[in-house]
Amino acid sequence: MKRGNQSSVSEFLLLGLPIQPEQQGMYYALFLAMYLTTVLGNLLIILLIRLDSRLHTPMYFFLSHLALTDICFSSVTAPKMLMDMLTQTQFIPYAGCISQVYFFLFFADLDSFLLTSMAYDRYVAICHPLHYTTIMSQNLCFLLVIGSWVLSFAGALVHTLLLAQLSFCGDNTLHHFFCDLSALLKLSSSDTTINELVIFIVGSMVITVPFICVLVSYGHIGATILRRPSIKGICKALSTCGSHLCVVSLYYGAIIALYFVPSSDSSTDKDVIVSVLYTVVTPMLNPFIYSLRNRDMKGALRNILRRGAFSA
């Protein structure tokens, strides 16, 4: 795609994480372990759901897509960050930077939509248990997932096309460990009014609206439990929704801290640290949350291990 004003910047310098040079080795080992845990843990979730027929339900169908999304989301930024820490070569070409922005936004939006679909699934399961199988049909599940992918693709594409129209002259230094959209807009020598307006509109559609839907779903779940209060009902609701609530809290908590809490010019390091939580830590924690708090997942893992021990 041809940009309106040809940019003189052919690459960007990523300053990376705000850590001391003598601590690079320690943090490299830490983040490498976290990334490998993210990939292997989420692959394990996908494998368990695939192999255990008892997990072939709408909730685990959405969970398998969320696990795949988390692998991809973390892979957009973590390998480049690890490579930069290892080689001390912190430059990224212009095309690579634009591509990273697109895939980062795509998988971040997809995470949001999938978490919303999972919240709706829990709402139907608890508030309308007798109609659950009818409402959460296979067709609806496929439609929700396909719709999530299409909307995420469209939202990320709009931001990327508008970003490609901007000019970057002079300073090419990004105070970040990846190509963050807001950091790139600050560097641009073009008028970014339209970009910022689109960020507000599309951000409302892919983050704020899904977040409100999640809150409404859990509001109805809470009201349903309170109408029929019992220890057994509360325990069942917590076992059913606890894992999802933990993941939602981590995901939207990081987004709110990063994009909705007012920041000053001196808070760049804080934004970078919160971004690490958002892009590396949260995807790594998801497998632990769903495996340690979920009896079905633990049961499926035990069955697979028994099968492996028996065959051996």
pLDDT tens per residue across all 312 residues of the chain? 444 444 467 889 998 888 888 888 899 999 999 999 999 999 999 998 998 888 899 999 999 999 999 999 999 999 999 998 888 888 999 999 999 999 999 999 999 999 999 999 999 988 888 899 999 999 999 999 999 999 999 999 999 999 999 888 878 888 889 999 988 998 888 888 999 999 889 988 888 899 999 999 999 988 888 887 666 666 666 666 777 888 888 888 888 777 666 555 556 777 888 888 889 988 998 888 877 667 777 777 777 777 765 565
Q: Which of 207, 205, 195 is nearest to 254 (CA)?
A: 207
Count of CB atoms within 10 A of residue 243's CB?
22
Q: Assign 3-state DSSP to the chain and report helix, strand, coil percentages, each to 5.
A: 80, 5, 15
Contact 24, 103 (CB under 8 A): no
Q: Which DSSP letter does residue 88 get?
A: -
Contact 206, 112 (CB under 8 A): yes
3-class secondary-structure state, position 134: helix
Q: In sequence order, which ranges of 175-230 are alpha helices (DSSP H)? A: 181-187, 193-203, 209-227
Per-residue pLDDT, 3: 45
Per-residue pLDDT, 5: 44
- Residue 310 φ/ψ region, left for φ over 0, alpha for ψ in the -120 to 50 degree band, beta for the rest: alpha
Q: Which of 34, 38, 30, 47 is nearest to 71 (CA)?
A: 38
Contact 118, 62 (CB under 8 A): yes
Q: Which of 31, 55, 59, 29 is nearest to 44 (CA)?
A: 55
Tell me the pTM.
0.88
Cα(first)–Cα(last) distance of the chain, in Å?
56
